[in-house]
Structures are given as C-alpha cells and as structure tokens.
Structure 1
Amino acid sequence: MSACVLYHFPFDPGSRAARLALGEAKIEFTDTVVRPWEDGCPVATLNPSGMPPVLQTTDAGRALTLCEPSAILGWLEDRSSEPFLMPADPVERAETRRLVGWFDRRFNDEVNAVLLHERMEKPLLRLGPPEARALRAGREALKAHLLMLETLLGTRDALAGRRLAQADMVAAAHLSVLDYFGEVPWGAYPAVKTWYMKLKSRPCFRPLLADRFPGVQPSAWYHDLDF
C-alpha cells in the first residue's frame, strides 16, 4: 500500500479520532496540518464540506480520498480481516454506532459548540475573550455527558461493552481536546477517569500529547498517564 497522507487540524476532535484509529491500526501516514478557516486550505478542494480530517491513500491500486472520521474509520474496518474497532457482537455494534452518533451530534452541539468556541475558536479567529455565561453553560452540559459516561462505565470495560471500539476512540478524541484546556473535572467521575487513563496509555495516544495550541499551555495533568 502506498503512503497515506492525513490532512488534519490537531485540535479538531474528528481529526483526533482519525489519528487515534490510524495509530491503533499501526498505519503510517504523513502528517499534514491544515487550518480550514483560512483561504487556500487544501482540504477545501478535497472535501465538499471543507472540513478535516481527509485521508488520501491507495487500496488495491486505486486512489482513495476519505473525507471525515466516519469514512476513515469505516475504511479501517473494511480493510481488516477481523473486527477492528467494531465489535463482532451485534448488540455491541449497535451500541458503538449509538455512542459515536451521540458524540458527533449531541456532544458536539451541546459541549464543543460552546466550550471549544469560547476557548479555541475565539482566539484563532480573534473574536474577543471568552464569555463567562457561555463557559458556565458549556461546563454544565459537559457534566451531564460525563455522568452518562460514568453510568455506562460503571458496568462495562469499554464504552460500548467488553472491548475497545470506535466509540472509545471518538469519545477520547473529544475529551482530550477539552482536557488540554483543563475543562474536564476528572475527580468527579472516577470511572471515566480510569477509562481515559487506560486509553491515554496506548501508543496511538502519544502524538496527541505532543500537540500545542498557540498561546495556551496544556493543563498540568495533560501529559500524565496516571493523573
């Protein structure tokens, strides 16, 4: 297989999900960082939505351009001779899809659209300082989602059931961005914290811990595998 090129923005949760899954599959790729809000961003000509991540590769001699996490994670699953990040059990597969959809829609709309807008998008686009009211609303929404995860992980080894799945990669990608900015109150959710520490210790997670956001230092525990 020819070399893969991944176009991504390091603090985009979808880009992080793709990087985690590619790392878990042990697929080497060229790291190409993009800024999708700027004119001339190469992703604009590769993906109709103009959004990262985009993976360019070849499979069985055919060129592929895979746009956004669902296509990239789906390709990784299709190329595997056995279940990779989709459980073999039909019930756990359904639960995996439910949770991935939860993060792609509700978590993104209720948490990221508020907290990451205030903490990340505003500095990048020079839209002024964060608003205290918006930060409070985003943090309250985050607590509700963390409580849901805490309930699930009270009876499961992984989010969707017995083994690591796409849901874990997607959830960890979202939470890792928020963790960089110190927005995750880990102490109040011990089962989520334990689950996250296990994921954080996997080799696929190491490149994420090297990411740096301009002008903002990561939380004091961002690098710690046992925090």
Structure 2
Amino acid sequence: MIQLYHFALSPFCRKVRLVLAEKKLEVELVDERYWEQGSEFLRRNPAGKVPVLRIDGLTLAESGAICEYLEETRPEPALMPEGAADRAEVRRLVAWFDDKFHQEVTSKLVYERIHKKLTRAGYPDGANVKQGVRAIKFHLDYMGWLLDRNRWLAGSSLSMADFAAAAHLSCLDYSSDVDWNRNEAVSTWYAKIKSRPAFRSILADVVPGFRPAKHYADLDF
C-alpha cells in the first residue's frame, strides 16, 4: 500500500494527491501534525515538512521530487509534455505556484488564517492578509492571460502545472478567498479541473474547526 503523510490544507500535499489520483494509484492518507516535529516523523523527513510518500520500498520527500518520481515510474497518463521546451514551461509554472504564488498569496491567507490557529502560532497578521488579498488579483489576471492563449495553463494538455495551481487555489477556495468572478477563463478552468475524478478526495476534505465555503465542493460553483 502506498502511504502519503500529509496535511489536508497543504497545497504541496494536495498537488501530490492529485497526481496520485490522476494516475489511478490507491493511497492511504495519513494525517500528519508536522508542526509538532515528532521524532518518528523527523526520521521520515529530517526537514520536518509534508508531504512524505512511502512507495516502492522508498520514503520520498518534497512535492516536486515526489511528482517527478511518479511521472517517471508511472508515466500514464502523462502529466509532462514530450518536448523539452514544453517541459521547461511546465516546470516554470510549477515553480511559479509553489514559490511565488505560495509566498505572496497562500502563506498570507491560508497560513495566516488557518495554519496559525491550528499550530497555535498566534493570531493572523492583518498586514500579511491584506498583502495576500492584493496579490491574488495579479495572479488570477496572469492565469487568465495564460488561459487566453492555451487550453490548459502550460499548453494544449493537462499537466503538472495545472495541478500545482489547482492545489493552491483549492486551499484558498476552502475559506472562500478566491474571487471567481474576476476572470471567466480562470473560473472555467477551475470548474473543469475540479470536475475530474482526481479531485474527489480533495473536495471531501474537512479540517476540524474550519468549515469549507458553501460552494467549495460544488462542481458548478
């Protein structure tokens, strides 16, 4: 049995879950209170971060490395295009969402409003929240620009880039932090991607103490 040590509102864990589900790999989800830095968990990943995947007799950490491993060992359906330039674009966008978007938006909204309470790390920083609210507008506009030119974010085919973006946006949508009226192309893209079977377990997530937005699991918003 494949095991994924995860936290439900981690976009990095969600990205891995989406890839696993898209490739139709059954996985046991193990909730991990990573912030407690337990000794057993630190043996799995000394960095003290989720996700951690146990597969093929291996223990893998870091979402990017995990997704690349899954793509190389379970190549169907492909989530990376064939051409080198196209693959570079997918990797660029994955990095965009896991680095820039995460720092400017996810960490400012989801982490301030939810993670801080769960981890008892204090109260939300109002200035950070305001920065996140401003920054997400730019990112939604940029996604709209990409989708005006492509069927999916990185080109004509669904790719890791779409799952990276959807992982972050789904965390934000859980607490109703996405203005889906801002860009029709983005809302259409999200409705399309969250209608995929791979998204079912994501939409079923409930974090104790935090109820999802009413529209969260609605496939048609």
Unmatched segments (≥5 aa) in structure 2:
none
Aligned to 1:164: 158
Structure 2 partner of 1:202: 196
Contact 1:100–1:167 (CA under 8 A) maintained in structure 2: yes
Quote the offset at 1:41 in angstroms: 6.2
C-alpha distance in 2, partners of 1:25/1:221? 27
Matched-pair contact (CA < 8 Å) for 1:34–1:41: no
Secondary structure at the counterpart of residue 4 of structure 2: strand
Contact 1:55 1:72 in 2 (8 A): yes
The structural deviation recorded for 1:144 is: 0.9
1:119–1:130 CA contact under 8 A, matched in 2: yes
Alignment-derived partner of residue 107 in structure 1: 101
2:28 aligns to what? 30
Q: Quick check: 1:220 aligned with 2:218?
A: no
Q: Distance in 2 between matches of 1:102 and 1:145?
A: 10
Does the Cα contact within 8 Å between 2:23 and 2:76 map onto a contact in 1? no
Structure 1 position 128, deviation (Å):
4.3
Look up the equivalent residue of 1:29 and give its one-letter code. V
CA distance in 2, matches of 1:57, 1:82: 17
Q: 1:187 is paired with a residue of what secondary structure?
A: coil
Pairing of 1:1-227 with structure 2 (within 5 A): 3-40=1-38, 42-58=40-56, 63-81=57-75, 84-227=78-221
RMSD: 1.5
TM-score by length of 1: 0.92
The alpha-carbon deviation at position 167 of structure 1 amounts to 0.4
- In 2 relative to 1, CA 218–82 (structure 1 residues): closer, same or farther, beyond 3 Å? closer
Contact 1:34 1:42 in 2 (8 A): no
Displacement after TM superposition at 1:39 (Å): 4.1
CA contact (8 A) 1:5 1:30 kept: yes
* CA-CA distance at 1:35 after TM superposition: 0.8
- Paired with 2:217 and 2:76, the residues of 1 have a C-alpha distance of 33
Structure 1 gap ranges (5+): none
Q: 1:26, CA displacement in angstroms? A: 0.3
Greater displacement, 165-174 / 46-55: 46-55
Q: 1:42 to 1:167 in 2, by over 3 A?
A: farther
Q: Deviations over 1:100-146 (max 9, x none)?
A: 11112111111122112221122113344434333221110111111
CA pair 56-221 structure 1, distance change in 2 beyond 3 A: same
Code of the aligned partner of 1:4? I
Percentage of pairs with the same residue: 47
Where 2:206 maps in the other structure, the secondary structure is coil
Query: What one-letter code is carried by the residue in structure 1 that aligns with 2:47?
Result: S
Q: In 2, distance between residues paired with 1:126 and 1:72?
A: 29
Secondary structure of 1:50's counterpart equals coil
